[in-house]
Chain A
């Protein structure tokens, strides 16, 4: 009997000290970059080209105080988030259907790949004509840049699904809903996370590109508008705000990833 008795293996320690060190060193790199940028201005590079961190900081502060910053951030964030959510809601079922209806997928594949390879940026003028210069055209641009990521990733994920696992649940006559909720969707979770990770950046690209081409608000519009007035400080302020949104999104996905797909660490 004792040959079956085993002791529980120790779960890995959290490693807080290492993560503190990492945060410190990253901060150090950021400070070095900002210092180099700031001193470049003092060493003779014109502020018209590169502005300076202090000027950008000042601008951001002013924009934050007037509330204008948050209006633009909220606008761009809304466009990107709606586009991403829509791409998820439409892309995941299509990806599942692509895996399930193999022949239909074979028929559709060249068309899907053609659309996928098309630089979606080039669609922006058309989307402005179709969907107007308000929110909707930007959401659709974000949607069109991201949806393929979900479709193709989910399709790929389903191809790797463990056949034995599915067969086993079939022998136990698992109802379709249970099969989906307990086997297939959890199996796909890492692929969904990976899609989200790529999708955050792409949906921002979609939204901002549409804003650059025709809009009256949003960070893309703010950047475009500042550049038109040779206001480099404004351009950089817009870029910093965009980066902040992207970084926040990535942080959120990393959190989600930790919670959902810890099992893949094996």
Chain B
């Protein structure tokens, strides 16, 4: 039913995407003054409320795509649009999450989350309530006053997720956010993320090297070529939602999709 509803929604939606990448080139400068092309002729689009993963071999420029979208890195060629606007004119809040938790080590759990609300210009009197709500939502109750070094890796990433949610982003850019976690915590965090996504319905770009994770979470999986990377395949994941990561693993369609993506990657392009 969910899938049907989504299809109808897709048909009714205007063609203007939330995020548009058109023939984008990115290069890094070398110390000797040269340039290393990292991304070449990359094109893709992400619709409003869509969850899209990017997979590809190490160093193919997956993270670079996110860094360009977040404004941390300039592109050389092509056009990047958010809501139809260039990056300079973009007014949307972009929430970024790294593999490392990048919390303020001296600040408490609550303060780390609160800074997201502060940067989103949420009114002073509403911040405490919002922080408390997120701490409950992410099951961090009782840890409000703890510092990051007193928490496990999984909990630290949940605090980082809390800060991201407090920032109320219009777009989520997640750069292997659960890559450093053990398998079990990773699945638990994926479930958490889906819970967040189904509640807020924002556009998500999720970079990962874990293909099963990509299929579990996404509406579409983009496969990138080796460096200089571009998108070689755009694979729709038409598995019904809500999805349970553990049940999904027994589903034949799930296995087929994972196989299909693996063979794309092996093809090497």
Residues of A within 8 A of B (CB): 1, 3-6, 8-9, 11, 162, 164-165, 167-174, 178, 182-183, 186, 189, 261-266
Q: How long is the Cα–Cα vector from A178 to B117 in the complex, in angstroms?
A: 13
Closest to A260 in B: B106
Say which one of B19-27, B44-52, B95-103, B210-218 lies at the interface with A: B95-103
Residues of chain B lying within 8 A (CB to CB) of residue A186: 104, 106-107
Pick out which of these stretches binds chain A: B148-156, B199-207, B220-228, B256-264.
B148-156
Knowing A171-B72, A174-B119, A186-B106 touch, does A5 contact B142 (C-beta < 8 A)? no
A8 and B106: CB pair below 8 A?
A: no
A164 to B70, CA, bound (A): 13
Q: Is A171's CB under 8 angstroms from B94's CB?
A: yes
Assembly CA distance A264 to B149 (angstroms) = 9
Q: Does A263 lie within 8 Å of B106, measured CB to CB?
A: yes
Partner of A165, one of B95, B102, B142, B173: B102
Contact A8 B119 (CB under 8 A): no
Contact among A6, A167, A265, A266 with B155 in the assembled complex (CB-CB below 8 Å): A6
Determine the chain B residues whose CB is within 8 A of the CB of A183 once the complex forms: 104
* Interface status of B143 (Cβ within 8 A of chain A): yes
Which chain A residues lie closer than 8 Å to B118 at the CB level?
178
Q: Which residues of B contact A4 (CB under 8 A)?
A: 139, 154, 158, 185, 188, 192
Who on chain B is nearest to A5 by CB?
A: B139
Residue pair B72, A170 in contact (C-beta under 8 Å)? yes
Complex contacts, B184 vs chain A, CB 8 Å: 3
- Residues in A neighbouring B115, C-beta threshold 8 A: 182
A8 pairs with B70, CB closer than 8 A: no
Query: B120's closest neighbor in chain A, by CB?
Result: A172
Nearest Cβ distance between residue A55 and chain B, in whole angstroms? 49
Closest to A183 in B: B104
- Contact in complex: A172, B116 (CB < 8 Å): yes
CB-CB nearest in chain A for B106: A263
Contact B185 A172 (CB under 8 A): no
In the complex, chain B residues 100-133 whose Cβ is within 8 Å of any chain A Cβ? 100, 102, 104-107, 115-116, 118-119
B: which residues have CB within 8 A of A? 70-72, 93-96, 98, 100, 102, 104-107, 115-116, 118-119, 139, 142-143, 146-150, 152, 154-155, 158, 167, 173, 184-185, 188, 192
Chain B contacts for A174, CB-based, 8 A: 119
Q: Distance (Å) between the CB of B193 and the closest chain A CB?
A: 13
Pair A171/B146 contact, Cβ less than 8 Å: no
Residues of B within 8 A of A168 (CB): 96, 98, 102
Question: A264 CA to B104 CA in the complex, in Å?
Answer: 12
Q: Is the CB of B96 within 8 A of A8?
A: no
Given A6-B152, A8-B143, A182-B115, A171 contacting B71 (CB threshold 8 A): yes
Q: How distant is A75 from chain B, measured CB to nearest CB, in Å?
A: 38
B184, closest chain A residue (CB): A3
Known: A8-B143, A8-B146, A9-B150. A263 touches B116 (CB 8 A): no
Q: Is the CB of B72 within 8 A of A167?
A: yes
Q: Which residues of A contact B173 (CB under 8 A)?
A: 171
CB distance from B204 to the nearest CB of A (A): 15
> Which residues of the partner chain A approach B142 to less than 8 Å between Cβ atoms?
8
Note all chain A residues with C-beta closer than 8 A to B98: 164, 168
Select A263's contact among B71, B102, B147, B188, beta carbons within 8 Å.
B147
Shortest C-beta distance, B31 to chain A (Å), equals: 14
A62 to B60, CA, bound (A): 79
Whether the pair B102, A164 counts as a contact (CB closer than 8 A) is yes
B104 — which chain A residues lie within 8 A by C-beta?
A: 165, 182-183, 186
Q: Which of A1, A6, A172 contacts B167 (CB 8 A)?
A: A172
Q: Once bound together, how far apart are the Cα atoms of A160 and B119, in whole Å? A: 25
In the complex, the answer to whether A164 meets B100 with C-beta atoms within 8 Å is yes
A128 to B154 CA separation, bound complex (whole angstroms): 61
- Additional A-B contact list (12), CB under 8 Å, known A4-B185, A8-B143, A171-B71: A3-B184, A8-B142, A11-B150, A164-B98, A165-B102, A168-B96, A182-B115, A186-B106, A261-B106, A262-B147, A263-B148, A265-B149
Closest to B98 in A: A164
> Would you mind naming 11 contact pairs between A and B with Cβ atoms under 8 Å apart?
A4-B154, A164-B102, A170-B72, A171-B95, A172-B95, A172-B167, A173-B93, A178-B119, A182-B115, A263-B106, A263-B149
